[in-house]
Amino acid sequence: MRIPTSILVFLLAFASRPAESAEWTTFVEAKFGTTLQIPSEIFSVHEGPSYRGIGEQYTTKDRRASLAVYSQENLRKDSPRTYLKRNNLVPRRMIEYVRVTRSFFAISTVMEGMVFYSRCNFSPRSSTIHCFDLKYPESEKQAWNDVVTRISRSLEPLERG
């Protein structure tokens, strides 16, 4: 498979600037108190309101990767496990990574050459769910690993119960 020149240039720049050295911005959703660190050099295009809950969407300049961060009320008082079971549209056999705890879930799958990664933290005290969805090319998975980890760990509030 031939990788387009624009992706090669991105990968070389990305690899030489690890997650720690890239420019990051803290996203804050005031209504529910969700915060998330966003690599603003990468997700430099604001796409408007999130397709779910209350939040925002961002893409890379070439639109090959996207990030949505959002919050929503947990009206059914779902746990991470019950929420995932009720709302996951991806067949279980297609999920490559899943981690479910009492306070969050994270899942990842690959479809049509794209990695889809989602994480939601559950706030039992405020009955709020804090989430982000990330999509990027599977061919760039190695280059995205540190970025995905930093974004995932920055999602707050994460109240341990």
Query: Residue 6: which pLDDT band, with cuts at 50, 70 and 90?
Result: very low
Query: Residue 158: which pLDDT band, with cuts at 50, 70 and 90?
Result: low
Quickly name the fold that domain 23-154 has. Protein Transport Mog1p; Chain A (3.40.1000)
Least confident piece of the model among 11-15, 107-111, 155-159:
11-15
Which pLDDT belongs to residue 9?
41
Higher pLDDT, 143 or 3: 143
Least confident piece of the model among 1-10, 38-47, 108-117:
1-10
Query: Residue 151: which pLDDT band, with cuts at 50, 70 and 90?
Result: very high
Higher pLDDT, 15 or 136: 136
Which residues face 156 on adjacent strands?
35
Would you say 43 and 67 are in contact if contact means Cβ atoms under 8 Å apart?
A: yes
> What average pLDDT is seen over the chain?
85
The Cα–Cα gap between 161 and 100 comes to 14
Report long-range pairs for 54-61 (Cβ below 8 Å, ≥24 apart).
54/29, 55/29, 56/27, 56/29
As a whole number, mean pLDDT of residues 108-117 equals 95
CA distances from 158 to 15, 93, 137, 150 (A): 30, 28, 28, 15
Report long-range pairs for 111-114 (Cβ below 8 Å, ≥24 apart).
113/137, 113/138, 113/139, 114/138
Query: Residue 44: which pLDDT band, with cuts at 50, 70 and 90?
Result: very high
Least confident piece of the model among 3-12, 14-23, 71-80, 105-114:
3-12
As a whole number, mean pLDDT of residues 11-32 equals 66
Please name which of 102, 32, 36, 37 lies closest in space to residue 74, comparing C-alpha atoms: 32
The Cα–Cα gap between 120 and 59 comes to 20
- pTM here? 0.82
